[in-house]
Amino acid sequence: MGKREVVYDFQRLRDYALWYYFRYFPSNKKLMMKLVEKSKLEPELAPRVFSDIEHLLEEDKIIESKIKNYIFRNKNVSYIRLKMIEKSFPRQKIEKFLVEDIWIDDGSLLNKDFLLKKIENYRQKGKSKLYIKNKLVDRKEDKSIVEECLNEVFWDDWELKALKKEYDKLQLSLSIEKDKQKIIQRLLSKWFCYDDIKKVLFF
């Protein structure tokens, strides 16, 4: 026997709305979507309940809190914007908060200790400096601190060794005599520097 569908009256839907809101702190749009979903047998209930509790909803404060939490977790601006939009928060409010409250000093949102660990993790996976820089520099304000951390982590000739290792792997699958150009393209696609690639291939 299938599960019985719950029938919502006004009070039951209102109780659900308050429970859902104070448990998940969703966007107003997301809350309304949930109410419509729960009251599909009585579609007029959703707007009535939403209107009844609207004075309790604080979307601006929720946007601020969620964005600050992402920043605390060292998420970059693109990630923050994407996640907030996925949660159905208004794009205009997201941008307003980012511009007026977060970017006011035009500084980087990235934390140096976090960056050093992240870069070291990429390095252990054999990623090039250019690859890492491309991943971590989300805004022009990030460039300086990312480059500083890259220089601290890549202080030796490690990248040249990583390039040589990647080149040796490609030799196993490609004929060096026939596919030298293809090898160059493969290495460039992994963000290794062309000058370093030439050193490995031609010297």
Residue 63 and residue 46 in one domain = no
State which residues form the domain around 32.
10-56
List, for residues 85-100, the tens digit of each pLDDT value: 999 999 999 988 887 7
Residue 42 and residue 69 in one domain = no
Contact 103, 163 (CB under 8 A): no
The answer to whether position 3 is within a domain reads no
Alpha-carbon gap, residue 157 to 152, rounded angstroms: 12
The answer to whether position 164 is within a domain reads yes
Return the pLDDT at 32.
96
Alpha-carbon gap, residue 185 to 198, rounded angstroms: 12
Alpha-carbon gap, residue 103 to 98, rounded angstroms: 6
Give the pTM.
0.57
pLDDT along the chain (203 residues), means of 10: 72 95 95 93 92 95 89 80 94 85 57 82 80 80 82 71 72 61 74 69 61
Return the pLDDT at 202.
62
Alpha-carbon gap, residue 123 to 152, rounded angstroms: 12
Return the pLDDT at 148.
85
Contact 136, 120 (CB under 8 A): no
What's the number of domains the chain is made of?
4
Which are the contacts of 190, defined by CB distance < 8 A and separation ≥ 6?
127, 128, 131, 166
DSSP string, 25-82: ---HHHHHHHHHHHTTTSTTHHHHHHHHHGGG--HHHHHHHHHHHHHHTT--HHHHHH
The answer to whether position 43 is within a domain reads yes
